[in-house]
C-alpha cells in the first residue's frame, strides 16, 4: 500500500474532528485505512477558482465538492459581498443549478449560508440554464450570482460558478479577492441556519420574461415566417434546456421542433451518452438518428448547463456533419453583421469579441463590415468583462469562442445556448429562404474571405502527478521551442504569461496588451497558429491548431480543407503529440 504523505494525512485528520458530520468522518477514515492514493488526491490541495470557477470531483476532502467546501466558498463570497456593498441595506444573490447529481443539494447549502449571513436570495424552483442566471443577476439587480454546475465534465464532477453584479463571471480583482476570503474561511466560520424570509423562489414566469427579451434579437422574422416548417431536432442531453429552448424556438416562430424523448429525461448520470459534451460526435448519436427519421434540416444539442451548443447540418451529399465551434461562430457573426448592414443598423460604433484561440476569420469578417474585433483571453468571462468596460461607449453585437460558446446581444453576460439555438435556427431559415443550406452559406463565406481549418487536441493528466506533468509540458515548450514546424519557420512566439510577443524575423519584442495567462502561441511563416494552454476547469492541457488558405471556388472546398487538416496532423507529429 502506498505511503501517505504526512502533511496530507494531517490535513485529512482535521476532517475526523467533531466539526464535521458523522458521515464525512466515516468516509475520510475509510480513505485513510484503505485508499491512500484517493486520500492524497482528495486532500493535497484546496479547490481553486479557475476560468470556470470552483469545479471538482464530488466527495469528502479539501480538493472535492462537498457540503463543507461549498459552504466555505459561500461563506467567503458572502463576506466579500457584504464588504463590497456596505451602503446596501439588503445585498442580493441569485442561484441556479443544472441537472448534475447533488446540484439541488449544493443549491440548498448555498442558499442556507447566504441567507444565514443576512443576504437576500433568489433561487430558481428547478434546474435552469447558466445564461438565465446571468440574466437574472442583472434583471433583479443582484450583487452576485451562483450556478451549481460542472458543465460537460464527467459524471463524478460538480462545480460552483460565481458571477458579479454585471452578470459576468468573476474577473480580477474580484476572483482573487473571493479566493482570499475563502482561503481564510474555516469550516467553523460557516454560518449554517437557513432564513426562509430572505429566500425568494423564481418560477417559470421569469423564464417568460427572458424569452421575450431573446425574441427582440431576431433580425429576420420574415424568413422564419416563410420557413416556419423547417424541421429542427433539438436535444438537451438530459440537461437544463429541456423546456426553455423548445419554448424559445416556438416564440421565434418555428413550428416543427422535434425532441429526442430519451434525452429529455433530466438525469445527472447522463445514461444515453458517454459524455454530455456537444463538442463530441458521440453525443449526437441519438439526435442524428432522430434527424434521419424526420428528415431534419438542422440538429442542435446543448450541454447540461445550457451555455454551449453543438450544431449538425446536411452537406451537399445529404449527410449530416457536425460544425465545430469556430464554424458556428463564423456563421453567426456573418449572419448578424450582414443582416445589420442590409437593414442599415450599423452606425460605426459596434464591435465583436473573440478569444485568442478562436478563429481569426471572425476578425476578417468584422473588418469587411468596418466593425471592430477585440481579442481577449480564453474564457467567456473576459468577453463579459469587455462588455462591461465598454458599456455606454460602444455597442456589443456578438462574441464567441471556439469551445462552442456564443452570445448575441448584451442583456446576458455569458455564452448563451438558448440565444444561440434561436439565432442558428434563424440563420438557417434565412439561408433556406435564399436557396442555401447553412453548409452552403459556410462555404460561401470561405470563398469570400478565406478557408480556415481549426482543430483542438486535449491531453488529460489527472491528479497531483498530472498537474505536475502539465506544468512540465508548458515549461519545455517555453524553454526549448522548436526551430521550425512542418518545414516552416516560426515567425513569432507569443507568451501571454510573460506578456511578450517576440518577432523572430525582426528580433524584436513587443508587450502583449492582455492580462498575464499561461498561454503560449507559435505563429508560423504562413500564418499557421499553434496555441497551448492548461485548462482552467479540467485536468487537461489543450493544443489549438489553425491553418488558412484561399478558396477560389466552392467545388474545391473538400480538397482544400483536407489539405489543411493533413497539415495539422503533420504539425502534431513534429511536436511529438501523436
**CA atoms of 545 and 370, how far apart (whole Å):** 27
The answer to whether residues 559 and 443 touch, using CB atoms and an 8 Å cutoff, is no
For residue 144, the model assigns a pLDDT of 97
Q: Give me the pLDDT at residue 468, please.
A: 87
Query: In this structure, are residues 400 and 311 in contact, taking their beta carbons and an 8 Å threshold?
Result: no
Q: Which of 45-59, 204-218, 276-290, 369-383 has the lowest mean pLDDT?
A: 45-59
What is the mean predicted confidence (pLDDT) over 547-551?
A: 96
pLDDT digits over 38-60, tens only?
999 999 988 776 545 688 999 99
CATH 3.10.580.10 fits 45-202, yes or no: no
Instruction: With beta carbons less than 8 A apart as the criterion, state whether 123 and 94 touch.
Output: yes
The residue among 254, 276, 252, 272 whose CA lies nearest residue 263 is: 272
**Contact (Cβ atoms closer than 8 angstroms) between residue 148 and residue 133:** no
1 pLDDT higher than 60? no
Own/partner pairs, 318-325, CB within 8 angstroms, 24+ separation: 320/288, 320/291, 320/292, 321/439, 322/281, 322/284, 323/438, 323/442, 324/279, 324/402, 324/404, 324/454, 324/455, 325/279, 325/358, 325/400, 325/401, 325/402, 325/403, 325/404, 325/405
What is the reported pLDDT for 53? 66
The C-alpha cell 441556519 sits at 193
Q: What is the mean pLDDT of the chain?
A: 95
Sequence-distant (6+) residues with CB within 8 A of 207 are 128, 132, 243, 244, 247
The pLDDT value given to residue 491: 95
pTM reported for the whole predicted model: 0.94
- Tell me the residue ranges of DSSP E strands in 115-191: 120-124, 144-148, 157-164
pLDDT for the residue numbered 188:
94
Residues 6 or more apart in contact with residue 293 via CB below 8 angstroms: none
Considering only CA atoms, which of 49, 147, 107, 141 is closest in space to residue 415? Answer: 147
Q: Is the peptide bond before 173 cis (omega within 30 degrees of 0)?
A: yes
CATH annotation of 451-574: 3.30.310
> Is residue 4 scored above 60 in pLDDT?
yes
| 537: confidence class by pLDDT, cuts 50, 70, 90 | low
Instruction: Provide the CATH number for the domain formed by 210-448 in this structure.
Output: 3.40.120.10
Q: Where are the beta strands (DSSP E) in 128-251?
A: 144-148, 157-164, 199-202, 232-235
Q: Is 151 a catalytic residue?
A: yes
- What is the reported pLDDT for 2? 67
Q: What angle do CA 506, 509, 512 make, to 5 degrees?
A: 135
What residue has cell string 445564461? 131
Residue 452 has phi, psi (to 5 degrees) of -115, 140
- Mean predicted confidence (pLDDT) in 489-517: 95
263-281 burial, b for 16+ CB within 10 Å, e for fewer? bbebbbebebbebbbbbbe
Distance CA 518, CA 172 (A): 15
Do 147 and 164 meet the contact criterion of CB atoms below 8 Å apart?
A: no
Report H helices in 15-66.
Answer: 22-34, 36-43
**Is residue 375 within 8 Å of residue 355, measured between CB atoms?**
yes
**Residues in contact with 9: Cβ distance below 8 Å, sequence separation at least 6, in sequence order:** 32, 39
Q: Which residue has the cell 506533468?
A: 469
Alpha-carbon gap, residue 216 to 435, rounded angstroms = 26
E strands within 274-404?
298-302, 309-314, 320-323, 350-355, 372-376, 395-401
| C-alpha cell at position 136 | 437574472
Position of cell 466552392? 554
Confidence at 465, pLDDT banded by 50, 70, 90: confident
Domain boundaries, the chain: 45-202, 210-448, 451-574
Nearest in space to 451 (alpha carbons), one of 279, 567, 300, 335: 567
Domains 45-202 and 451-574 agree in fold: no
User: So what's the pLDDT on residue 54?
Assistant: 82
* DSSP E strands, 125-207: 144-148, 157-164, 199-202
Mean predicted confidence (pLDDT) in 82-87: 97
Residue appearing with cell numbers 438518428: 289
Helix, strand, coil share (%) of the chain residues, nearest 5: 40, 25, 35
Do 36 and 1 form a contact (C-beta atoms < 8 A)? Answer: yes
Nearest-angstrom CA–CA distance, 321 and 132: 29
Percent of the chain with pLDDT over 90: 89
Q: Per-residue pLDDT for 501 more than 80?
A: yes
Tens of pLDDT, residues 227-245: 999 999 999 999 999 999 9
Q: What is the mean pLDDT of residues 320-328?
A: 97
Backbone angles phi, psi at 377, to 5 degrees: -65, 165
Over range 77-99, report the average pLDDT. Answer: 97
Beta bridge partners of 457: 543
Which of 24, 103, 134, 151 is labelled catalytic? 151
Q: Give how far Cα 39 sits from Cα of 4, 20, 126, 168, Å.
A: 8, 17, 34, 35
Task: Provide the residue count of the chain.
Answer: 578
Amino acid at each position: 500500500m502506498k505511503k501517505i504523505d504526512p502533511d496530507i494525512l494531517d490535513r485529512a485528520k482535521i476532517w475526523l474532528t467533531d466539526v464535521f458530520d458523522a458521515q464525512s468522518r466515516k468516509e475520510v477514515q475509510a480513505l485513510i485505512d484503505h485508499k491512500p492514493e484517493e486520500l492524497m488526491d482528495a486532500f493535497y490541495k484546496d479547490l481553486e477558482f479557475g476560468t470556470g470557477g470552483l469545479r471538482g470531483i464530488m466527495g469528502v476532502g479539501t480538493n472535492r465538492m462537498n457540503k463543507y467546501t461549498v459552504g466555505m466558498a459561500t461563506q467567503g463570497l458572502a463576506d466579500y459581498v457584504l464588504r463590497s456593498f456596505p451602503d446596501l441595506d439588503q445585498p442580493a444573490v441569485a442561484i441556479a443549478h443544472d441537472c448534475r447529481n447533488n446540484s439541488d443539494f449544493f443549491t440548498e447549502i448555498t442558499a442556507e449560508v447566504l441567507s444565514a449571513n443576512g443576504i437576500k436570495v433568489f433561487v430558481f424552483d428547478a434546474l435552469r440554464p447558466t445564461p438565465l442566471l446571468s440574466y437574472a443577476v442583472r434583471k433583479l439587480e443582484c450583487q452576485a450570482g451562483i450556478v451549481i454546475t460542472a458543465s460537460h465534465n464527467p459524471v463524478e464532477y460538480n462545480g460552483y460558478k460565481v458571477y458579479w453584479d454585471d452578470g459576468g463571471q468573476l474577473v480580477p480583482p474580484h476572483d482573487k479577492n473571493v479566493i482570499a476570503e475563502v482561503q481564510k474561511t474555516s469550516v467553523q466560520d460557516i454560518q449554517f441556519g437557513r432564513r426562509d424570509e430572505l429566500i425568494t423562489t423564481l418560477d417559470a414566469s421569469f423564464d417568460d420574461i427572458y424569452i421575450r427579451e431573446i425574441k427582440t434579437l431576431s433580425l429576420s422574422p420574415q424568413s422564419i415566417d416563410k420557413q416556419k416548417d423547417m424541421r429542427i431536432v433539438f436535444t438537451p442531453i438530459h440537461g437544463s434546456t429541456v423546456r426553455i429552448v423548445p419554448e424559445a424556438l416556438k416564440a421565434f416562430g418555428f413550428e416543427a421542433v422535434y425532441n429526442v424523448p430519451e434525452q429529455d429525461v433530466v438525469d445527472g448520470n447522463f445514461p444515453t451518452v458517454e459524455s454530455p459534451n456537444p463538442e463530441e460526435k458521440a453525443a449526437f448519436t441519438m439526435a442524428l438518428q432522430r434527424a434521419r427519421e424526420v428528415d431534419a434540416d438542422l440538429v442542435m444539442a446543448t450541454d447540461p448547463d445550457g451555455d454551449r451548443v453543438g450544431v449538425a447540418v446536411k452537406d451537399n451529399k445529404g449527410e449530416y456533419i457536425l460544425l465545430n465551434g469556430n464554424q458556428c461562430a463564423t456563421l453567426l457573426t456573418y449572419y448578424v453583421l450582414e443582416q445589420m448592414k442590409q437593414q442599415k443598423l450599423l452606425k460605426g460604433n459596434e464591435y465583436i469579441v473573440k478569444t485568442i484561440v478562436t478563429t481569426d476569420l471572425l476578425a476578417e469578417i468584422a473588418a469587411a463590415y468596418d466593425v471592430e474585433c477585440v481579442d481577449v483571453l480564453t474564457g467567456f468571462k473576459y468577453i463579459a468583462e469587455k462588455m462591461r468596460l465598454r458599456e455606454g461607449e460602444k455597442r456589443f453585437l456578438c462574441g464567441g469562442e471556439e469551445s462552442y460558446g456564443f452570445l448575441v446581444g448584451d442583456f446576458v453576460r455569458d455564452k448563451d445556448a438558448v440565444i444561440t439555438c434561436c439565432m442558428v435556427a434563424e440563420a438557417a431559415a434565412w439561408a433556406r429562404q435564399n436557396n442555401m443550406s447553412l453548409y452552403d452559406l459556410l462555404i460561401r463565406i470561405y470563398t469570400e474571405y478565406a478557408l480556415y481549418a481549426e482543430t483542438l487536441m486535449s491531453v488529460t493528466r489527472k491528479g497531483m502527478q498530472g498537474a505536475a506533468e502539465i506544468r512540465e509540458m508548458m515549461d519545455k515548450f517555453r524553454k526549448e521551442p522548436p526551430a521550425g514546424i512542418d518545414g516552416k519557420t516560426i515567425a513569432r512566439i507569443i507568451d501571454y504569461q510573460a506578456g511578450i510577443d517576440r518577432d523572430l524575423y525582426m528580433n524584436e519584442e513587443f508587450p502583449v496588451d492582455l492580462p498575464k495567462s499561461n498561454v503560449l502561441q507559435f505563429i508560423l511563416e504562413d500564418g499557421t497558429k499553434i496555441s497551448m494552454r492548461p485548462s482552467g476547469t479540467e485536468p487537461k492541457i489543450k493544443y489549438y491548431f489553425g491553418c488558412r488558405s484561399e478558396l477560389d471556388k466552392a467545388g474545391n472546398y473538400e480538397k482544400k480543407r483536407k489539405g489543411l487538416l493533413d497539415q495539422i496532423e503533420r504539425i502534431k507529429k513534429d511536436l511529438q503529440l501523436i
